[in-house]
Chains A and B, each alone.
Chain A
């Protein structure tokens, strides 16, 4: 039971100091809510400038575009850019760490790989290319299946692999 006291003719559990504190708390909270909303517009919770990241030098043979922040059970995109290697091969290959794919469910890969080879730590995707002199971008649509920090590793043969980190909100 709250403390009932007498105010004029009323018996009431009024508590002005508490009420003042509550109003102050409310005003601070409004500012916090506005900040959260602004942060969200900027991409603090995914889909925005604060969230867009690239990894690897664009002059390099391999570089990535991904989102730093994601939300649980929503979709995110990973763009893997391959710059041409002089070769006569009609196939490009990339591998992705299985640890990453455990937390992310692949929904679609564009272009579709013509072959997927699994080993203990990696899945290697093979793509047919008509002209290996041209850059290739592989877009992977992923659904987040993991909450918290997740690390990914992407590589292509004879290249330094790229590691990247994402944070998935619940």
Chain B
């Protein structure tokens, strides 16, 4: 009876509430570790920016580009995958290895490793060219084989 009343008010069982409150309490307690760090607001900003950057920027951008790709004139609906695969490979490697590609933080890299970031942009472009070429060759071979 009490349980049903709780569920109608809260929207789920008491275990649901307990689990979530525990996880939020842990987050609060963990955050207290850096409460004395004058830069903690920047940590929070980066935390929120990571979500906004993904959900509000990168995801809609990727979805938008994909929608445009799907509207391109094409022989078969799956042709779009020959663009998608190298494009996603290029985007993934660009985002994951961004500092080297755009030469960000080079003085620190030089101090830590004795090396510059010179080669990375060229290597990344080569990798993208390779992915595009492989995709184009596979497309060509499959089209030819279908005839």
The reply to whether chain A is a binding partner of chain B is no
A interface residue numbers (CB < 8 A to B): none
- Residues of B at the A interface (CB closer than 8 Å) are none
